[in-house]
Amino acid sequence: MLKISTWNINSVRLRMPIIAEFINSRSPDVLCLQETKCRDAEFPHKDFHALGYRHIVINGQKGYHGVAIISKKPIELLDKRDFCEKGDARHISAQLNIKNTAITIHNFYVPAGGDEPDVTLNPKFAHKLEFLDEMSHWVRKNKITQSPSILVGDLNIAPLENDVWSHKALLKVVSHTPIEVEKLNAFFKAGEWIDALRHFIPEPEKLYTWWSYRAADWAAADRGRRLDHILVSDYFANRLKKLEILKEARGWERPSDHVPVTIELSI
DNA sequence: ATGGTTGCTTGGCAA
């Protein structure tokens, strides 16, 4: 079995106590983090080593973005791809070998896209759409899904109607606009990815991984969105065994606004 | 319709 988790941590240094809490209770083989928000030299390697994770690859930058793959078993760094050539730390990939099977793990932090869903008024929204187009091109050109591949991360889009608390209320809110959903679906199609979360919990059940910091009472309002995703290539179609979306982590001490998502795969 | 919070860093952005 392979147990892999993804979590937008919103500052890895600040969140180390709850990362330890998560690791001690769930103990994934591989933990993928987004929004680490520190330079590579500032990454808390020692804390992860002490928790039993000695194999770490990181793509960090000062203050913004940043992704990491943290593993109990040896992993090999494959790539840190600069989508849209902006120098942002939004992707890292690594290879994990289990029982003579080479598994590629891609960890993404897709641009949030700002507040205004208009490419002419908002360059951040244009960047987000361009980033998604480039992802589709990349997955097709490099035949990413023709070998055993797992893609995780904060894709900053909730594609399905029940991936948000109100489809109608969010149609003009960045993360759920039709153009973003169309681009993300094009990416899904380009790789023939399997949506692992919806494999376990199909529509029309509501499914969220993020709750805003701005709600007075996030749990009572429960106005969430499914922004975090795990996609697997065809190799894993009959190997998906278990899913956990750890909603309670949103209520932990000094939480991230995202919660950890974990799947188990048989290899 | 608007404002609400958090993190990085100390003045505003970005989310």
3 state SS for chain A: CEEEEEEECCCCCCCHHHHHHHHHHHCCCEEEEECCCCCHHHCCHHHHHHCCCCEEEEECCCCCCCEEEEECCCEEEEECCCHHHCCCCCEEEEEEEECCEEEEEEEEECCCCCCCCCCCCCHHHHHHHHHHHHHHHHHHHCCHHHCCEEEEEECCCCCCHHHECCCCCCCCCCCCCHHHHHHHHHHHHHHCCEEHHHHHCCCCCCCCCEECCCCCCHHHHCCEECCEEEEECHHHCCCEEEEEECHHHHHCCCCCCECCEEEEECC
Mean pLDDT of A36-44: 98
All domains of chain A in start order, with CATH: 2-265 (3.60.10.10)
- Which residue gives the smallest C-alpha to C1' distance to B8? A63
Q: How confident is the model at residue A63 (pLDDT cuts 50, 70, 90)?
A: very high
Question: What does the pLDDT look like over A72-112, one tens digit per residue?
Answer: 999 999 999 999 999 999 999 999 999 999 999 999 999 99
For the CA of A236 and the C1' of B13, the distance in angstroms is 41
Q: What is the mean pLDDT of chain A?
A: 98
The per-residue pLDDT for A182 is 98
Peptide bond into A204 cis (omega under 30): yes
The per-residue pLDDT for A218 is 97
Question: What does the pLDDT look like over A105-144, one tens digit per residue?
Answer: 999 999 999 999 999 999 999 999 999 999 999 999 999 9
Q: Which residues touch strand B (CB under 7 A)?
A: A 10-11, 13-14, 37-38, 62-65, 111-114, 124, 212-214, 216, 254
The per-residue pLDDT for A8 is 98
- Which residue gives the smallest C-alpha to C1' distance to B9? A63
The per-residue pLDDT for A255 is 98
For the CA of A173 and the C1' of B10, the distance in angstroms is 31
User: Which nucleotide is closest to A255, CA to C1'?
Assistant: B6
For the CA of A114 and the C1' of B14, the distance in angstroms is 8
Burial pattern A145-169, b for ≥16 Cβ within 10 A else e, equals: beebbbbbbbbbbbbbebbbbeeee
Structure tokens at A80: 């840190």
The per-residue pLDDT for A53 is 98
The per-residue pLDDT for A58 is 98
Alpha carbons A86 and A107: distance in angstroms, whole number: 18
For the CA of A212 and the C1' of B5, the distance in angstroms is 8
Alpha carbons A87 and A157: distance in angstroms, whole number: 22
